[in-house]
A and B are shown apart, each in its own frame.
Chain A
Amino acid sequence: MSNQSESPNPTSSSNKITLKTSDNEVFEVEEAVAMKFCTVKQYFDDENNNNVTSGTSTTLIPLPNVESHPLAILITYCKKHLEIKANNADNKKEMEIDMEHYEREFLKNVMPQELTELILAANYLNFKEALDFFCRAVASAIQNKSVEYVRKFFGLESDFKPGEEEKLREEFAWSFEGVDED
């Protein structure tokens, strides 16, 4: 397998890790970024343990469940995350403000369908910060939505018997107040 995107990065001399997505695209990322993806980290550690003698760290790590589009976005997010963290290493509050600001900007450029894709990728890669952020984003997006909207969003079928749901709706009518338009 060839490293298509092998290009020397003048800004950093740190180790590179090569990731290969399900649609056969190759990403070369810095070790710090790749280590945020727990699945990659695990694979990398296992690999290193097996090849202690050879000492090769240029292994190509296959990601059969991740496509290139969400991975590219995740790598961007991860880089920014690390950057913000490094810039405000001694000030946690500043870091959180910066992060919040970035996340708000980030969500402006993400479609709802993309968000599902991103969550699946982040979940597979076990990238905790991103998964938490995406879950928060989805939660705030659906918290004022109607039952029908959420059902569609999660791909669920109503399993109530006829009349049963109406009864519950009547009983908990107060929780159906202030629902946004779909």
Chain B
Amino acid sequence: MSDYLPEEVVLEILHRLPVKSLIRFRHCVDKPYLEHYKLIDDNNDSSSDQIQHIDFPLTSSLSKRGVSRKRKCRDKLDSSQHFSICLLTSDEARVHLLQEAREQQQEVVQLEETVRQRQEAMLYQQEAIQQQMERMASFKSQLEKAADFKSRLAHLIQRLGGPGWRRI
């Protein structure tokens, strides 16, 4: 056993894990560990008592507020590094995560909608450009026709008697 960590150290490590990892590991770590220390409480029989306060040590940057007396008495790690947090029971945590996921999904849907709108606008612009191109092509052919008429007219004038014709 000398290679393995004492229980109080394991507990300190567990205290520093995110809820998701805790819920995953509770099925691997001996059952007594997590349940004994009330890191996660699955007994939802008393429906009013689903949320329980436990002391959750986080990084040292956190303030001293909210340190519970019980924790101080335990004299484990520096009490300034602990801060009281509501750890939700597993069901609540799941609901919370689900809500987050749902919000993110909504965001994604909204983003998709804007993308679709922009795509439509672009298609519309493309059509407009195409129409203008067509119009330009028809102008061009008209211009060509006009040039053709002009040259034929000049030819006729020459045949009818040269530039003097205009003076008549």
Contacts and interface: CB of A to CB of B under 8 A. Distances in A.
A96 B31 contact: no
Interface of A is mostly: helix
A85 B162 CA distance: 108
A151 B26 CA distance: 10
Interface residues of B, number: 36
A156 B33 CA distance: 11
B25 interface: yes
Nearest to B101: A174
Contacts of A179: 24
Interface stretch (A10-18, A52-60, A72-80, A127-135): A127-135
Interface stretch (A24-32, A41-49, A141-149): A141-149
A132 B81 contact: yes
B27 A168 contact: yes
A107 interface: no
Interface stretch (B44-52, B56-64, B131-139, B148-156): B56-64
A174 B100 CA distance: 13
B9 A139 contact: no
A129 B80 CA distance: 11
Interface string B1-19: 1111110111011111110
Given A119-B9, A154-B29, A147 B24 contact: yes
Interface in A165-182: 165, 168-169, 172, 174-176, 179
A156 B15 CA distance: 18
A138 interface: yes
B60 A143 contact: no
Given A123-B9, A154-B10, A172 B1 contact: no
B57 A156 contact: no
Contacts of B12: 131-132, 135
Contacts of A158: 28
A142 B28 CA distance: 13
A84 to B, nearest CB: 12
A155 B1 contact: yes
A143 B18 CA distance: 7
B20 interface: yes
Given A129-B78, A139-B16, A154-B5, 14 more contacts: A116-B5, A120-B6, A135-B16, A136-B16, A150-B28, A154-B4, A154-B29, A156-B29, A156-B30, A157-B30, A165-B27, A172-B27, A175-B23, A175-B24
Interface of A: 96, 116, 119-120, 123, 128-129, 131-132, 135-136, 138-140, 142-144, 147-148, 150-151, 154-160, 165, 168-169, 172, 174-176, 179
Interface of B: 1-6, 8-10, 12-18, 20-21, 23-25, 27-31, 57, 59-61, 77-78, 81, 90, 94, 97
Q: Report the 6 A-B pairs with minimum CB-CB distance, sorted nearest first.
A: A139-B16, A147-B28, A155-B4, A175-B24, A143-B21, A175-B23
